[in-house]
Structure 1
């Protein structure tokens, strides 16, 4: 298939990723003021009012992909760019995103359906015409290894995972050395040679580089050299890594670089280290790090990395784009400056569609792009079945605490969702904001009772007796304050739930796990919950 034919095919695929707004859902721009004392941040209105990075005037405003898309790995493939990121416990996972200008991104398809436990920072690369993703995973929750999947087309089908048996390692980074052999660098920073097909090791794990060390009085989480990404330019190999810890203090995470004329070293520290680092809590993006360096459409250069949004850690680590420049001595440095302000877009790129609608009439399968199960069992997808106008999910566990909820990643500071739930049999179902099984809030409905879940605990004093077979539930998250309403007459009249919840603390620095707060729908008990007419809209700041 020619490049043009493939691009046309992607346009068809991507066009199918969006749904029109459901009736009655007004578009609303997410024009939110930055935290006190910071400049105004204003995003362009995208689909359903979701924030869009491309401002339409030749500039963009970070994030380029809003919501939890951490540890981004970017592949330049001709005029196309592809990106994926850590998917952790979400399956289907490892969603591939596509762009032609580094600013406007839209999902293509998930690359991984078979559960491997938690998935951390991966590496997406291309070698001899074949695409590879190298995946650190812990299927049993404890023993880490590096796996590989491959595909002849970026949209798949992707192979089943192959265990490379590189134990105890995370954060792989692929490179071809000056000897023409393939290598993986991993956390540490260590390296191991691969077989020519990239699907087995051909050597021993060995120390590759002792990373640059920051001053002892800097406030960081821990040293944690990780996330190695490599490129070759001119006579040098460049090794870009993260140190300082992924979360913790906002000033911890950072990007550093080194170079060598050989993949085997010796490596020379970059004199501009750290290239990226959050200097204080007043900045708009915290814990910035884990960068991939990529050439833009017109030959300029960029860094793609992640960061937490000031005041909205609940959204997880979002994907950021910062310009960089090469210096006369063959090094590079970041030039973005204040990321709360618009920046000129990369030159030469063609702006494509961005994002996708989250509203869903459940008329077709959107698993892996919008919907994912959290930490599913190997046969979890069998719980879900599409019927006319709805999606039926068989019960799992007895409550949100031991169920496998269906989740949807969101990227707006404030938003509202609605969904109709039909209880079939002795089912319990509800709408949540879900971080993980020890951190969530929401409402639950059984055939005879309404339940309230506050900070992963049911509140018995809030129980209300109410016969329910079908209910429509509305949840708004306004700047981390959550309000629930429900209706038993298909939205004609609404009952305001009597408990509002503040959720700004439901994030990694409190609960661990490196996750984000997602919209969740759970189905528990001995029955089935049918979902209908899910609607999403972004809200303006309060």
Structure 2
């Protein structure tokens, strides 16, 4: 089995430089702002609950999770079951009039607004700003002259159109749109453009800017559009693309300016099974007033940090559940009371399901799978009726898990896999649990290939079953999850997630 070191997946090299990606997991569709000396970042969360994670940094490199803007997804009843591929798509974050504002899309329902005085505190109940199907990727702009605008894109899967950006005039309090909207950029009229989306709206030195990606998630590029009028016409330039680097599809993110006046750009890279990881690029301006991102429009791998002196940090992965469920975890649907208890580890109530397909299990508690590989393990017990199952899973369009199953003849340690659209089957032979508890886990390599393992107290760790190739989900990377089904309960000690030692 591979060698792993217990360490944070931090991008801080500790010598004044950083290495991309700065967020090494599925923090997709990032948007970020600076308020004073603090930076805040949000990401799409799709069907996961709580939604709209909020991260904090002091240097754009070292990030921690400070909360979520959505405790539950709305409409409440619609999200009682997992809406894979739906939910919260690419959001935008702004600070205006002493408040933090998020406008986010639900592609099946419309564009919503929520706000807060404290980004780590309570956010308002989402308000529907514009209803309709296929409305995606909104971003507000409060202009220097007191006017306000909203730009958004279109999803062809719902609206029947895409590759264009629409701008509305908006009320100053973001409660309503003031006109029918106008298409200000039509990608069909730009040679080579396809899937123009993800716009972010800015104003600088008399210019209105829309930063928007095109070309698709895995292979696209980043464009910038500018005009003297927020309603156009806009001129265009590609400002970041893969070129001869190994960073595929570098696009869709946020322009941030430091206190010292330096400009930076955060964007994602699609890593398949690991989702959309986040990179940080330096940004400067050419003699014609256009942004130049990275190294002459190509993404950088290593670069001096924007600011020095911060302690290396990364979003949490391991969890002892001593003070609750950590913010790295999310359910696959709106949770019900009693699903989980914490204190001395984690106890999950076994929830009965006619078809316990983990892809559609509301009470699967998951977190993002770390990019580059990891080892995850926990010690667990199952106190349940025959037919109950519980364990540690890797869930995408395909899934696999290792854990315990209660049979009429006792409890067995089992490993099961399921391909997309197929029922689960045993991966290896189940064996009896001849002890109160078992330690189970999985090693994931840099390609997403998973080897499950288990050991009883005092015994050596043994691989269980054949290796399983993890897959991405619906617009998300694979999740590392815990679950319990049937009648009874399952308890888990601390979950330890260890990053792969790529230098070993």
Structure-2 residue corresponding to 1:471: 438
Structure 1 residues 186 and 361, CA gap change in structure 2 (3 angstroms): same
Note the C-alpha offset of 1:242. Answer: 1.1
Cα distance in 2 for residues equivalent to 1:381 and 1:407: 17
The alignment status of 1:487 with 2:487, answered yes or no, reads no
Structure-1 residue corresponding to 2:336: 380
**Counterpart pick for 2:34 among 40, 64, 76:** 76
**Counterpart pick for 2:224 among 257, 273, 280:** 257
Alignment of 1:201-240 (within 5 A): 201-211=177-187, 215-216=191-192, 223-240=194-211
Cα distance in 2 for residues equivalent to 1:396 and 1:147: 34
TM-score (norm 1): 0.80
Structure-2 residue corresponding to 1:365: 324
The alignment status of 1:145 with 2:110, answered yes or no, reads yes
Note the C-alpha offset of 1:396. Answer: 5.0
Structure-2 residue corresponding to 1:392: 348
Question: Is the 2:400–2:417 Cα contact (8 Å) retained in structure 1?
Answer: yes
Give the RMSD, CA atoms, in angstroms.
2.4
Structure-2 residue corresponding to 1:459: 425
Alignment of 1:19-98 (within 5 A): 28=5, 48-98=6-56
The alignment status of 1:299 with 2:255, answered yes or no, reads no
Cα distance in 1 for residues equivalent to 2:430 and 2:319: 29
Question: Is the 2:100–2:117 Cα contact (8 Å) retained in structure 1?
Answer: yes
Task: For residue 380 of structure 1, give the secondary structure of its aligned residue in structure 2.
Answer: coil
Task: For residue 487 of structure 2, give the secondary structure of its aligned residue in structure 1.
Answer: strand
| Residues 230-257 of structure 1: per-residue CA shift (max 9 Å, x gap) | 211111111111111223xx3xx11111
Cα distance in 2 for residues equivalent to 1:518 and 1:396: 22
Note the C-alpha offset of 1:200. Answer: 2.6
Structure-1 residue corresponding to 2:293: 334
**Counterpart pick for 1:131 among 95, 100, 103:** 100
| Residues 41-79 of structure 1: per-residue CA shift (max 9 Å, x gap) | xxxxxxx32332121222111011111011110111111
Which consecutive unaligned segments of at least 5 residues does structure 1 have? 1-25, 29-47, 217-221
Structure-2 residue corresponding to 1:159: 124
**Counterpart pick for 1:186 among 128, 148, 152:** 152
Note the C-alpha offset of 1:459. Answer: 2.3
The alignment status of 1:289 with 2:227, answered yes or no, reads no
Question: Is the 1:27–1:49 Cα contact (8 Å) retained in structure 2?
Answer: no
Note the C-alpha offset of 1:109. Answer: 1.1
**Counterpart pick for 2:61 among 87, 99, 103:** 103
Cα distance in 1 for residues equivalent to 2:90 and 2:260: 28
Task: For residue 70 of structure 1, give the secondary structure of its aligned residue in structure 2.
Answer: coil
Structure 1 residues 465 and 366, CA gap change in structure 2 (3 angstroms): closer
The alignment status of 1:403 with 2:361, answered yes or no, reads yes
| Residues 239-283 of structure 1: per-residue CA shift (max 9 Å, x gap) | 111111223xx3xx11111111221222222xxx21112236xx3
Structure-1 residue corresponding to 2:77: none
Question: Is the 2:8–2:313 Cα contact (8 Å) retained in structure 1?
Answer: no
Cα distance in 1 for residues equivalent to 2:253 and 2:461: 46
Question: Is the 2:64–2:316 Cα contact (8 Å) retained in structure 1?
Answer: no
Which consecutive unaligned segments of at least 5 residues does structure 2 have? 75-85, 154-163
Structure 1 residues 195 and 394, CA gap change in structure 2 (3 angstroms): farther
**Counterpart pick for 2:143 among 177, 184, 188:** 177
Note the C-alpha offset of 1:514. Answer: 1.3
Task: For residue 290 of structure 1, give the secondary structure of its aligned residue in structure 2.
Answer: strand
Note the C-alpha offset of 1:458. Answer: 2.2
Cα distance in 2 for residues equivalent to 1:428 and 1:102: 42
Structure-2 residue corresponding to 1:516: 477
Mean Cα deviation higher: 383-392 or 405-414: 383-392
Structure 1 residues 386 and 214, CA gap change in structure 2 (3 angstroms): same
The alignment status of 1:440 with 2:399, answered yes or no, reads yes
Structure-1 residue corresponding to 2:175: 199
Note the C-alpha offset of 1:213. Answer: 6.1
Mean Cα deviation higher: 96-105 or 407-416: 407-416
Note the C-alpha offset of 1:494. Answer: 3.4
**Counterpart pick for 2:240 among 276, 288, 298:** 276
Structure-2 residue corresponding to 1:34: none
Question: Is the 1:73–1:85 Cα contact (8 Å) retained in structure 2?
Answer: yes
Structure 1 residues 60 and 380, CA gap change in structure 2 (3 angstroms): same
